[in-house]
Structure 1
Amino acid sequence: FSLAEAIPDGPSVQALSEVAARLGVVIIASLFEKRAQGLYHNTVAVLDADGRYLGKYRKMHIPDDPGYYEKFYFTPGDLGYKVFDTRYGRLGVLICWDQWYPEAARLTALKGAEVLFYPTAIGWALDQTEDVNQEQFHAWRTIQMSHAVANGVPVVGVNRTGIEGEMQFWGGSFVANAFGRLLYEAPHLEEAVHVQAVDLGASDYYRTHWPFLRDRRIDSYAPLTKRFWDE
């Protein structure tokens, strides 16, 4: 908890704001936010290419399973799903465990996101078999690519690498176009820096030819607000 800081008034946002302005890039910064004494969030701060702080998104879905005891540290987000207007487009940002929930991707896309970003820290337990490792990685990448297809927006999954405790983070950061086609994939076991061009205008083509948003039956989705449909 001693590593948590206020957002945007903490040192990380201030330092990264200077970097964003100097390089002319948008920075999506994953941070441990201290909101108040005893109240913490897993949070992303978004800094525009001129260094301006655009706002933050607090992780909505908090896991608690082997290797990821996040409920001990983090309170679920209460800011809703967010889209940030940057110099280079409208960015939707979700965090790690959020990536497994199609509802989160859909709502962010419906707010006007032109790209979905998923900063992530996920990996394999060191005692797992290679078959299990590959099954988990395939599921992780597939679910995010499905968000690209269903919503007609590019998806960028950014994952850490390296070993921490009994966990080997599997890297494999990737970029998919607005129909889920893989444009780039980083290696599993080493860090990488990559610049990938993405055609934001292609979303209009895919949404026109595969009109999933047009054909949604919004009158039929109320049961999604139930924990389980057993009534």
Structure 2
Amino acid sequence: MKKKKFKIALAQIKIEQKNIEKNCKKIFERIEEAAKENVDIICFPELATIGYTITTDELQNLPEDFNNTFIEKLQEKAKLFKIHILVGYLESKTTKKSKDFYNSCIFIDDEGEILANARKVYLWKKEKTKFKAGDKFIVKDTKFGKIGILLCYDLEFSEPARIECLKGAEIIFVPSLWSLNAENRWHIDLAANSLFNLLFIAGCNTVGDSCCGKSKIVEPDGTTLIEASGTKEELLLATIDLAKLDEIRNKIPYLSDFKSDTFSIEALKKY
């Protein structure tokens, strides 16, 4: 049976550029901290394992198995602490023809099973030279309702959140590496996507390296439930009450008044 109330944590951390070992250690420590707070779901920022500055040449020189142990340990932690985990990470996929990389988010349930692996669809500027784009906007049915995942720049387009809304999403997690220069857009994009689709949005950002922090959880009417600082690492905790989602959707008729013929059915099928 779906839980109407559950506790989530956004792990706003400073990512050590290209230091996989140190970042993974920090991720595991935050998971244990969240477990002590009886958190049901914890989310980490985009590329939390390696950071943003890795070059194309450095990517190609990474060992084949650099992710295997990390994913396995995440699964162990999820099962041990009975916690759902979302982590933005660098995904590699090697074939006979190529070695490709994706800016991805792994979603693991409290039994240690991988529920989803979301790949960033909209790549920002030079990301296009390093990563392959994803081609799906993912929504998974869980004991905490239907959960969607977007990665950073995906949030800056109206269609991804709307597609996930039409797929039934009740809360969307957004692992991000959002810059200080674009902080105003961070607040606007989170609030607008939340309000227009009448759902919860949890944006998990990083601090340092010109990122703006301010991880936050936005309610279905676009108001801020809780917000982190702009400079400090912290574990942002909040209780999500899905009854509030129903209440707001009854008050604001955006979804019931939405004209579905204005939105491409082909887009829903494709993405």
CA–CA distance in 2 between the matches of 1:141 and 1:33? 28
The alignment-based identity, stated in percent, is 28
Gaps of 5+ in 2: 1-58
Distance 1:179 1:73, change over 3 A: same
CA–CA distance in 2 between the matches of 1:77 and 1:172? 26
Structure 2 residue corresponding to 1:11, chosen from 69, 89, 108 = 69
CA contact (8 A) 2:178 2:186 kept: no
Indicate the residue corresponding to 1:195 in structure 2: 237
**TM-score, length-scaled by structure 2:** 0.70
Structure 2 residue corresponding to 1:94, chosen from 130, 145, 150 = 150
CA offsets, 1:138-166, max 9 Å, x none? 22111111111111111101001112xxx
Deviation (angstroms), 1:169: 1.1
**Alignment: residue pair count:** 204
Deviation (angstroms), 1:89: 2.6
CA contact (8 A) 1:90 1:113 kept: yes
CA–CA distance in 2 between the matches of 1:189 and 1:5? 34
Indicate the residue corresponding to 2:187 in structure 1: 141
Distance 1:14 1:213, change over 3 A: same
Q: Tell me the amino acid that sits aligned with residue 132 of structure 2.
A: T
CA–CA distance in 1 between the matches of 2:63 and 2:240? 34
Indicate the residue corresponding to 1:21 in structure 2: 79
Structure with the bigger RCO (C-alpha within 8 Å, sep 6+) is 2
Alignment of 1:45 with 2:106, yes or no, is yes
CA–CA distance in 2 between the matches of 1:39 and 1:103? 26
CA contact (8 A) 2:79 2:110 kept: yes
Alignment of 1:1-231 (within 5 A): 1=59, 2-3=61-62, 10-36=68-94, 37-64=98-125, 69-78=126-135, 80-124=136-180, 133=181, 136-163=182-209, 168-221=210-263
Q: Tell me the amino acid that sits aligned with residue 141 of structure 2.
A: D
Distance 1:15 1:5, change over 3 A: farther
CA offsets, 1:45-66, max 9 Å, x none? 10001211112111110110xx
**TM-score, length-scaled by structure 1:** 0.82
SS at the partner of 1:44?
strand
CA–CA distance in 2 between the matches of 1:4 and 1:92? 31
CA–CA distance in 2 between the matches of 1:175 and 1:197? 10
RMSD: 2.1
Indicate the residue corresponding to 2:19 in structure 1: none
Runs of 4+ in 1 over 3 A off after TM superposition: 2-7
CA offsets, 1:68-95, max 9 Å, x none? x2111111102x1111223333210100
Indicate the residue corresponding to 2:56 in structure 1: none
